[in-house]
Amino acid sequence: MFFLPYLIGVITAPLAGAIVKPLVRGTVKTTIGLALQVKKLAAEAAEDVQDFAAEVSADFAAAEAETETVSKTGTQSEAKSGTRSVAAPRTT
């Protein structure tokens, strides 16, 4: 009976290998698939953040340009209409 554990190991080792190898392969394949999906989602999220940042930058640039126009022309309504009021000539 000294060889019984050895005999059991010799018989079950190939069976365990046949069962474990597909499980490990499936686990690795699933993990790689999930990692690729996460990478894709992260890239899409980064693109969305970049788009949002570009929109905000454009809004700030537009607001700054409007502020500069207002300071040059005098009032915001004149800046929007593109006209500047001119004082009437004095008559004496």
The 10s digit of each residue's pLDDT in 9-40 is 888 888 888 888 899 999 999 999 999 999 99
pTM value > 0.75:
no
Angle at alpha carbon of residue 87, lines to 85 and 92, rounded to 5°: 165
Cα torsion through 72, 77, 79, 82, rounded to 10: -130
Residue 11, CB-side half-sphere exposure with 13 Å CA sphere: 6
pLDDT confidence of 55, banded at 50, 70, 90? very high
